[in-house]
Amino acid sequence: MRAAIERVLDDCGFAQGRDLEEFENEFATYLGSAHCVGTSSGTAALKLALEALGIGAGDEVIVPANTFAATALAVTANNATPVFVDVEGDTLLLGIDAVVAATTARTKAIMPVHLFGQVVDMDPIMRFARERGLFVVEDAAQAHGAEYLGAKAGTIGHAGCFSFYPTKNIGALGDGGALVTNDVELARLVRTKRWLGQEKGSRYRHDIVGENSVLDTLHAAVLRVKLPHLNVWNDERRSAAAMYRKLLDGVPGIRLLAERGDGRHVYHLFAVLVAERETAEASLREAGIGYGIHYPIPLHRQAAFSGRSKALGPFPVADNAASSLLSLPMFPGITHDEIVDTVGALRRVSSRRAVGATHF
């Protein structure tokens, strides 16, 4: 990475430099997509995708309630209305039944979120979208390298959007993102919009309204170094997840999310449902073990979207996840002993529960 940074410093191509175009080509090739457009963040990629697809005021976009706020913020940034729906209980992913129930004459797009590193069951969603003439924009911010029926996450819908925030499976030195698509005109439009509405090679000529949302060259250079390691890192995450699953199977008060059999989960996060989360948090803290909470306030309860969204409730799954999801340590290189220690802290909580307590 230091050598890549030095190369950019020597070249002085800090904005729209050579490494940006090279990374875009390499990431598109890795995914099996025709085009990649680097953006300043995953949120920017989502926002630009919807904008380029012509989605705006009066339009509705179906969004799962259990996801990071950026998914819905991209919708409201285009003055469209996010329609929140509940997720499936076994995976916490968007399902076709919720999509069908939420679709109205105003629906223009569906935004499946490949949460925690696992791809949504996309075939039924894509069939429905084709029947209704709807766009599908994949939020693949947590699914770099994940697969569904042999296709990489982000390459199934009309556009796929990735984040390169430093915590992701492949992260930049700061924030960054990308949009991928097989639609040449969509790629051209997003590429123009992300650079103040300027076509490549026509600086100072602004034919459309755009914004400043280009992936910095330094980030692209670092991502180029990391990309060849992504599959190995994802394999290490999968191995760690398999160990977690084996050690946590049958532990009272803990429920594991299902891993679909039609794809390849890349475990950006290893999240479990815990009956007594606060007690589990205390046990992990006592052992000096880090953890995460994703996401304590589901989107249909966020004040930011009050009056700017529709909520097709009830939301028993998302509400339960908000109060019980616990993300355990997950990263390439995590050791057997670190996983054992984490599970031990959770088992201590289980052992302190009353005799005869039922499973979660």
Residues 260 and 206 in one domain: no
Residues 24 and 143 in one domain: yes
Within-domain flag for 358: no
> Does residue 352 have a pLDDT over 70?
no
Residues 89 and 48 in one domain: yes
Q: What is the pLDDT of residue 353?
A: 57
Residues 114 and 213 in one domain: yes
Query: Residue 203 — pLDDT band, cuts 50, 70, 90?
Result: confident
Read off the CATH number of the domain in which 255 is found.
3.90.1150.10
Residues 180 and 246 in one domain: no
Within-domain flag for 154: yes
Within-domain flag for 116: yes
Within-domain flag for 143: yes
Residues 48 and 196 in one domain: yes
Residues 196 and 285 in one domain: no
Buried b (16+ CB within 10 A) or exposed e, 7-41: bbeeeebeebbebbbebbebbbebbebebbbbbbb
Q: Please give the model's pTM, rounded to 2 decimal places.
A: 0.95
Closest CA to 108 of 62, 175, 48: 62
Residues 46 and 8 in one domain: yes
Closest CA to 115 of 257, 227, 223, 248: 257
Q: What is the pLDDT of residue 359?
A: 47
Residues 14 and 140 in one domain: yes
Within-domain flag for 15: yes
Which residue range forms the structural domain that includes residue 279?
Answer: 231-352
The total number of structural domains in the chain stands at 2
Q: What is the pLDDT of residues 273-319, one digit of tens each?
A: 999 999 999 999 999 999 999 999 999 999 999 999 999 999 999 99
Query: Residue 199 — pLDDT band, cuts 50, 70, 90?
Result: confident
